[in-house]
Amino acid sequence: MTLSPHNMDIKAFIFDLDGVIVETSHFHYEAWKKIAYKVNGYELTREDNDLLKGVSRIKSLDIILDLAKASLDQKDKDALLIEKNDDYLNLIQDLKQSDLLSGALDFLNASRDAGIKIGLGSASKNARLVLESTGIMGMFEAIVDGTNVVKGKPDPEVFLKGAGLLGFKPNEIVVFEDALKGIQAANSGGFHSVGINIETELSAFNLNSFENITPQEIIERIQNQNR
Ligand code: BG6
Ligand code: MG
């Protein structure tokens, strides 16, 4: 199906990275679990980990210290941030295209074929490395990551910068997110938001994966809701 002029109101998709395009969330979790345990034996749960999704590395450590009721001086914090990232980099060293979420690659290709522009909006400073190792860097017309923003999600900065680079208005763009803070960021910037593997009523709707859905169906569902 080709896009009719009517449904061209949506011109671009911006994807979060970790947990949306690629299965890296459990690696972040694994690395943070070690750090939390090291701080004072704190066992970081999956529920705790949901609070860290979409959050910068520095902020994540502060959240963990709060949960563990621990406080550290800056020097110790810096050492833990380096340790966490070294560990994470170690865990993703064999990352490859088959680590993409099921259906994600086909969905990206189908979006491109339909003339939809594709952007990335991630909190991660390792985003470019992950895109390289999974071989999908070239699909993105705009990449905004943790190295380009001052304010983290739920602030919409990361997505607004992406919209600027793509040259479209927020209401012409759908943001795909697995983090509550990411959905809040998209909504507060005036974007349409679709949740991936998340239960929330703040998004337009939620999907478990990109399998069995086309870009055109996403656009139709969004447009039907906005009629
Ligand atoms: C987000 C992840 O995409 O990036 C968070 O959801 C992670 O879990 C954050 O902490 C920062 O990533 P990095 O790679 O810069 O430590
Ligand atoms: Mg994410």
For the chain, the structural domain boundaries read: 5-23+99-225, 25-92
Give residue 4's pLDDT: 46
Show Cβ contacts of residue 157 under 8 Å, excluding neighbours closer than 6 positions.
Answer: 149, 150, 151, 185
β-bridge partners, 120: 15, 143
Atom of ligand 1 nearest to the CA of 29: 8
Q: Is the CB of 124 under 6 A from ligand 1?
A: yes
Q: What is the pLDDT of residues 149-163, one digit of tens each?
A: 999 999 999 999 999
pLDDT at 225 over 90: no
Q: Is the CB of 55 under 6 A from ligand 1?
A: yes
Q: Is the CB of 123 under 6 A from ligand 1?
A: yes
Distances (CA, A) of 96 to 22, 100, 201: 9, 8, 33
Domains 5-23+99-225 and 25-92 alike in fold: no
Arch. (CATH architecture) of 5-23+99-225: 3-Layer(aba) Sandwich (3.40)
Q: What is the pLDDT of residues 116-130, one digit of tens each?
A: 999 999 999 999 999
Are the beta carbons of 210 and 103 closer than 8 angstroms?
yes
- Mean pLDDT (the chain, rounded): 95
In CATH terms, 25-92 corresponds, of 3.40.50.150, 3.60.9.10, 3.30.70.100, 1.10.150.240, to 1.10.150.240
Region 51-80: mean pLDDT is 97
**Dihedral sign from CA coordinates of 117, 122, 125, 128:** negative
Q: What is the pLDDT of residues 100-111, one digit of tens each?
A: 999 999 999 999
β-bridge partners, 12: 117, 173
Q: What is the pLDDT of residues 9-48, one digit of tens each?
A: 999 999 999 999 999 999 999 999 999 999 999 999 999 9
pLDDT band at 222 (very low <50, low <70, confident <90, very high): very high
Region 125-150: mean pLDDT is 98
Query: Residue 16 catalytic?
Result: yes
Query: Residue 9 catalytic?
Result: no
pTM for the full predicted model: 0.95
Q: What is the pLDDT of residues 165-220, one digit of tens each?
A: 999 999 999 999 999 999 999 999 999 999 999 999 999 999 999 999 999 999 99
The 3-class secondary structure across 77-124, one letter per residue, is HHHHHHHHHHHHHHHCCCCCHHHECCCHHHHHHHHHHCCCEEEEECCC
Structure tokens at 223: 């447009």
Read off the amino acid at residue 167.
G
Compute, in angstroms, the gap from residue 180 CA to the centroid of ligand 1. 14
Compute, in angstroms, the gap from residue 179 CA to the centroid of ligand 2. 5
Give residue 3's pLDDT: 46
Compute, in angstroms, the gap from residue 162 CA to the centroid of ligand 1. 18
Give residue 138's pLDDT: 97
Nearest CA to ligand 1 atom 11: 124
